[in-house]
Amino acid sequence: MRVVDGELRAGQRIRMMGGGQVHEVMETGFFRLEQVRTDSLVAGEVGYVATGAKSVSAVQMGDTITSVEAPASDQSPDSIPFDWVLIYQMSYDNNLAWAGLPILEMLRTGLTSDRVAVAIFADLPDDGGMFRIILRSDGMEGFRIASDDSASTTTFRENLAWVGQTLPARRYALVFLDHGGRLDQILEMANRAPSAGNLQAYSILIIRHPQTKAALLQAALHQNALVQAPVVLVFIARPDVSAAKYSQRGASLYAIQDATIACAYAQLAAVELGLASVWIGAFEEETVSRILKVTGEDRPVALLPIGYPAESPEPTPRRSLADLAREAA
């Protein structure tokens, strides 16, 4: 802690302003990192070394120190193979199925420097297990690990230690990818929507890839939410499926309703999770079908960008209930 104003001493009553609790100060003091001089440092020990070097530029960050008499064969900088290692944590109920694969692909194709590596801790969907994945300019490797709890801090610490050993680098950056899990919950909710005859005559496409979103933008009056949101769900009615049981009424009405209700459920789930969405109905259907390779009788009926709300607009006006509904004669 740092004292900003006044004085802090034993016996004083203090309040933790965040939580509001009152405590009594038992003791105050400084932390001091002590130098304890030893005759030598041996392998495995962490310590300090004083030399006669007068300028900081004489020492490189992450330098390797070796004996003049018996020099090590591995010299710096080769002993530190990477300048940067980017660590991606795709943690608790994030998964590679939704966002991970396109991200992995972008990282893989974008990684051209052999001085940079990427380590990914990923929890694969459907009990696929947890993996440590290494991307280097010369390829990709994956290692399954025993843990099935990617929220575990122990696992996380072990993963970090493993990266330190496996990919020695001058600098590390840690990226927490927040995606996937909530989408699962939204899809679960959409999947609960009622459907005519339980035919569930619709499907949902998950759009993550920036290029696909940009193409949708063109086909939907440049409605920016399509590229601003991290994910766009496309609800596709499947008239054939409904027609098998309900003929023309199934094809022209129920399939559309099935897809529409599912989209509404997804919107409600998004709100429940603190996310926001916008229903986009204004788009060129044929163009969207072509972009998304929707074929046959299938029809995209709604695009649903989902993301974190940028604003909290006032509710739109509504009719009175008397205006909305009336008793039938």
Ligand X SMILES: Cc1cc2nc3c(=O)[nH]c(=O)nc-3n(C[C@H](O)[C@H](O)[C@H](O)COP(=O)(O)O)c2cc1C
Q: Segment 197-236, which members bind ligand X (CB under 6 A)?
A: 223
| Binding piece for ligand X, criterion CB under 6 A, among 39-47, 59-67, 239-247, 275-283 | 275-283
Distance CA 213, CA 195 (A): 28
- Cβ 316 to ligand X shortest distance, Å: 3
Which of 280, 292, 304, 306 touches ligand X by CB under 6 A?
A: 280
Q: What is the closest distance, in whole angstroms, from the C-beta atom of residue 315 to ligand X in the complex?
A: 7
- In the complex, what is the shortest distance from the CB of residue 216 to ligand X, in angstroms, rounded to a whole number? 12
Give me the residues paired with residue 123 across strands. 130
The CA-atom distances, in angstroms, between 290 and each of 1, 284, 293 are 60, 10, 5
Stretch that binds ligand X, among 3-11, 53-61, 179-187, 280-288 (CB under 6 A): 280-288
- Contact flag: residue 282 with ligand X (CB under 6 A): yes
Local structure of 232: helix, strand or coil: strand
**Judged by CB under 6 A, which of 279, 287, 297, 307 binds ligand X?**
279
The CB density around residue 75, as the number of other CB atoms within 10 Å, is 11
Could you tell me the smallest distance in angstroms from the CB atom of residue 140 to ligand X?
Answer: 40
The single-letter code of the amino acid at 206 is I
Three-state secondary structure along 154-177? Answer: HHHHHHHHHHHHHCCEEEEEEEEC
Subset of residues 290 to 319 that bind ligand X, contact rule: CB under 6 A = 316
Q: What is the DSSP letter of 283?
A: S
User: Least distance to ligand X from the beta carbon of 115, Å?
Assistant: 45
Left, alpha or beta for 151 (phi > 0: left; psi -120 to 50: alpha)? alpha
Which residue's CB atom is positioned nearest to ligand X? 281
Cβ of residue 222: shortest distance to ligand X, in angstroms? 11
Which one among 77, 268, 278, 307 touches ligand X, defined by CB under 6 A?
278
Q: Binding to ligand X by residue 273, rule CB under 6 A? A: no
For residue 289 the two structure tokens come to 């079908």
Asked if 302 and 205 count as a contact pair (C-beta separation under 8 A), the reply is no
Residue of 281, 284, 286, 310 interacting with ligand X (CB under 6 A): 281
Q: Parallel, antiparallel, or unpaired: how do β-strands 169-176 and 82-90 relate?
A: parallel
Question: Which residues of this chain interact with ligand X, rule CB under 6 A?
Answer: 223, 278-282, 316
